[in-house]
């Protein structure tokens, strides 16, 4: 009976997530014109009209067709929405259905999945793919949000909790957070344990690594700190950049963060969707790529943390008496409890980043703050498979991107709280500066 009750609770939660993810997709494009839904042909974005249809197609393919053996809802869906088969540059040229037809398809897929969730005794495979496709849509919803930033569209209008319900209260008096924490070395299990309810293939499985002692910043680099690098000539000093980084900087003529500009008065502004605002000195710098993060570190006499160091700082548990790493690790920086609005800036709640000193309840065991939420953090590490890697059923999720991408950790203000945890690995090429990414630094060792 207890197992049956737990299964029904899982199904009820999944049904809520299916509806919630699809509703968020609808909201993220509801105010856009047909012209905006198509948008310009850029290598870093998709046409939104195509991408929202793709999220529904992915759910239909894996849940309704792969598991349930149902016939396609649209006979042309594979020809329109298969991201593996359809080259990126051709997606603007497809005979895409109208907005109304696309939304109708998305409704139909969602409703059919909800119907199947109500059937008795759903299989583990079915529940797995429902959850996977919800998280897939969550990731695309994050992409929809940074696409709106990239294309200078207005801030999205979302159904969010009332002001002051969590993120606003936790952010009060945030301010800066300087200094490092000293992290002891020792054996550590990097990656997800087999007892986790759901993880992606690139997190599998926890394996032993030997961490050397290191010192890592309590908080990510702020806009004020990055501005000092800009005004100190950091973008004009080739010795601070790798060969690839300097080549990138020259190719795009980068002189500062991509969405910043300097007024004649000397004040700096940043573009927040379609409006310009003054820099908030204590908020994390974001929309910087891996090359920019590396150059800043060299300028500051610092370095990026490795992926293993980042996870040790987020998940490692200190033995209270000896100040050494315990054999156990936390699922979230603060412990085992899921994220809530008093611990992390997630789920669009603040509609942007907050000061790095906010959320004191988020501190990890070693003393790092905001390691989940607010801003994704670049690490020094290449995106590589863990030992014994085996791809999940959706084989294209991780494997094609190994060795060409860099690892980011921690989530941002747009990331869903149901998705993020300490072992979650994000990955982008080192030139990407459109995503909600920043970084924290480690002290250089002599």
Give the number of other Cβ atoms within 10 Å of residue 108's Cβ: 14
Does one domain contain both 55 and 181?
A: no
Does one domain contain both 52 and 101?
A: yes
Per the DSSP assignment, residues forming a β-bridge with 276 are 271
C-alpha angle 249/250/255, rounded to 5°?
A: 60
Average pLDDT over residues 363-392: 98
In a domain, 232, yes or no: yes
Give the domain-ending residue among 237, 264, 282.
282
Per the DSSP assignment, residues forming a β-bridge with 428 are 406
Does one domain contain both 416 and 302?
A: yes
The pLDDT of residue 164 is 45
Structural domain span for residue 215 = 162-222+283-446
1-to-7, 79, 130 alpha-carbon distances in Å: 10, 45, 24
Tokens linked to 174: 């945030």
Does one domain contain both 346 and 200?
A: yes
In a domain, 436, yes or no: yes
pLDDT tens-digit profile of 80-119? 999 999 999 999 999 999 999 999 999 999 999 999 999 9
The pLDDT of residue 444 is 86
In a domain, 132, yes or no: yes
Does one domain contain both 33 and 170?
A: no
In a domain, 26, yes or no: yes
The pLDDT of residue 99 is 98
345, 354 Cβ separation under 8 angstroms: yes
Please state, rounded to an integer, the average pLDDT across all residues of the chain. Answer: 94
Tell whether the model's pLDDT for residue 387 goes beyond 90. yes
Does one domain contain both 30 and 60?
A: yes
In a domain, 157, yes or no: no
Asked if the bond preceding 205 is cis, omega within 30° of 0, the reply is: yes
In a domain, 234, yes or no: yes
Q: Is residue 208 packed enough to be buried (19+ CB in 10 Å), middle (13-18) or exposed (0-12)? A: exposed
The pLDDT of residue 327 is 87
Does one domain contain both 245 and 383?
A: no
In a domain, 333, yes or no: yes
Tokens linked to 191: 């990656």
Tokens linked to 354: 């907050």
Residue position matching structure tokens 């409704």? 107
Give the domain-ending residue among 97, 130, 150.
150
Q: How far apart are CA 307 and CA 314, in angstroms?
A: 11
Tokens linked to 142: 């994050």
Does one domain contain both 130 and 184?
A: no
Average pLDDT over residues 400-427: 98
Task: Look at residues 439, 96, 132 and name the one whose alpha carbon lies nearest to residue 300.
Answer: 439
The pLDDT of residue 292 is 99
Does one domain contain both 412 and 344?
A: yes
Does one domain contain both 358 and 240?
A: no
Tell whether the model's pLDDT for residue 225 goes beyond 70. yes
Tokens linked to 314: 């987020």
The pLDDT of residue 138 is 98
Tell whether the model's pLDDT for residue 392 goes beyond 80. yes
pLDDT tens-digit profile of 302-326? 999 999 999 999 999 998 766 789 8
Give the domain-ending residue among 282, 297, 328.
282
The pLDDT of residue 7 is 64
Q: Is residue 397 packed enough to be buried (19+ CB in 10 Å), middle (13-18) or exposed (0-12)? A: middle
Tell whether the model's pLDDT for residue 41 goes beyond 50. yes
Band (5; pLDDT cuts 50, 70, 90):
very low
Provide the domain count of the chain.
3
Pairing of strands 268-272, 260-262: antiparallel
Domain CATH code at residue 33: 1.20.120.450
Does one domain contain both 103 and 126?
A: yes
The pLDDT of residue 38 is 98
What predicted TM-score, i.e. pTM, was given to this entire model?
0.96
Pairing of strands 437-438, 376-382: parallel
In a domain, 155, yes or no: no
Does one domain contain both 314 and 381?
A: yes
Domain CATH code at residue 293: 3.90.1580.10
Q: How far apart are CA 271 and CA 40, in angstroms?
A: 19
């Amino acid at each position: 009976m207890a197992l049956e009750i737990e299964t029904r609770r899982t199904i009820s939660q999944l049904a809520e997530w299916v509806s919630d993810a699809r509703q968020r997709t609808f909201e993220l494009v509801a105010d856009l014109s047909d012209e905006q839904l198509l948008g310009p042909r850029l290598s870093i974005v998709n046409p939104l009209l195509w991408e929202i249809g793709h999220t529904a197609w992915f759910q239909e393919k894996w849940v309704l067709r792969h598991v349930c053996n149902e016939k396609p809802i649209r006979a042309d869906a594979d020809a329109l929405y298969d991201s593996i088969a359809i080259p990126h540059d051709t997606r603007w040229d497809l005979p895409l259905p109208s907005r109304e037809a696309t939304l109708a398809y998305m409704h139909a897929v969602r409703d059919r999945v909800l119907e199947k969730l109500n059937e008795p005794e759903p299989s583990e495979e079915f529940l797995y793919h429902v959850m996977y496709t919800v998280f897939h849509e969550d990731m695309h919803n994050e992409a929809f949000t940074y696409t709106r930033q990239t294309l200078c569209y207005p801030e999205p209008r979302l159904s969010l909790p009332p002001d002051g319900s969590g993120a606003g209260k936790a952010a009060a008096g945030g301010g800066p957070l300087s200094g490092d924490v000293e992290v002891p070395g020792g054996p550590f299990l990097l990656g997800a344990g087999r007892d986790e309810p759901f993880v992606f293939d690139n997190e599998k499985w926890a394996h032993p690594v030997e961490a050397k002692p290191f010192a890592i910043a309590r908080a990510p680099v702020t806009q004020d700190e990055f501005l000092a690098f800009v005004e100190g000539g950091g973008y004009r000093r080739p010795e601070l950049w790798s060969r690839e980084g300097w080549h990138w900087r020259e190719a795009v003529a980068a002189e500062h963060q991509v969405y910043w500009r300097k007024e004649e008065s000397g004040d700096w502004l940043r573009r927040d969707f379609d409006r310009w605002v003054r820099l908030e000195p204590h908020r994390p710098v974001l929309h910087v790529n891996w090359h920019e993060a590396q150059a800043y570190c060299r300028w500051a006499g610092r370095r990026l943390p490795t992926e293993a160091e980042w996870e040790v700082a987020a998940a490692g548990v200190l033995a209270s008496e000896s100040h050494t790493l315990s054999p156990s690790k936390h699922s979230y920086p603060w412990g085992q409890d899921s994220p809530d609005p008093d611990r992390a800036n997630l789920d669009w709640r603040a509609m942007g980043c907050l000061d790095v000193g906010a959320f004191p309840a988020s501190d990890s065991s070693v003393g790092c703050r905001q390691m989940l939420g607010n801003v994704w953090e670049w690490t020094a590490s290449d995106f590589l498979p863990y030992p014994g890697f085996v791809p999940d059923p959706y084989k294209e999720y991780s494997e094609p991107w190994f060795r060409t991408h860099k690892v980011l950790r921690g989530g941002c203000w747009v990331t869903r709280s149901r998705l993020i945890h300490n072992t979650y690995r994000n990955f982008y090429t080192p030139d990407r500066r459109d995503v909600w990414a920043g970084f924290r630094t480690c002290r250089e060792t002599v």
